Homo-oligomer: A and B are copies of this chain.
Amino acid sequence: MVDILHRIGVTSSPDDVYTALTTIDGLAGWWTRDTDGDTDIGGVIRFRFEPGGFDMKVLETRPAERVLWEVVDGPEEWIGTRIRFDLKQEDGFTIVLFRHEGWKEPVEFMYHCSTKWAIFLMSLKNLVETGKGEPAPHDVKISNWH
C-alpha cells in the first residue's frame, strides 16, 4: 500500500477550510464545478471531470478537524482508496494534512494524481483565502493527462 501525502497552510480559520471541504458549493469552488450529492456522513458525493470522475462516500466529518472519504466509484486504481483531510492551527495558518491512502501499486497514474492533488490543494487555499479557486474545467493543466 502506498499513499499520496501533501501539506498546505491556509491563512483562514479551520471553520472556513472545513466548509470548503464539506459543502457542495465549497467543493465545486476548488476541485470541480461539476459536483453534487450528499455531504452528510454515509452520503455519496459525485465529482465529475471531462474524462470521468469519482464518487466518494463520506465516512467521517469532524467540524474544523477532519474529513474522510472512501472512493466507491471511479478509476479502478482509486476504488477502495481513502482520502483524508486533517486540519490544525499553527502560526496563524490552518494546516491541511492531506492523505490519499491505500493505492495498491505506485502506477504511473498515481504519479499524475499526486501532482494534480497538489494543484487542487493550492486551488483550495486560493478559494478560502481569496474567494476564487481554479476548479476543473479551469484547473491548471500539468501534462497530456491534463
Taking Cβ atoms with an 8 Å cutoff, the residues of A that contact B are 2-9, 90-93, 95, 97-99, 106, 108, 110-112, 114-115, 118-119, 121-122, 125, 140, 142-145
Contact = CB atoms under 8 A, between A and B. Distances in A.
Given A7-B111, A115-B118, 13 more contacts: A4-B114, A5-B110, A5-B111, A7-B108, A7-B142, A7-B143, A8-B142, A8-B143, A9-B142, A9-B143, A91-B144, A97-B111, A99-B111
Given A2-B2, A2-B3, A114-B4, A95 B142 contact: no
Contacts of A91: 144
Contact of A6 (B95, B97, B111, B145): B111
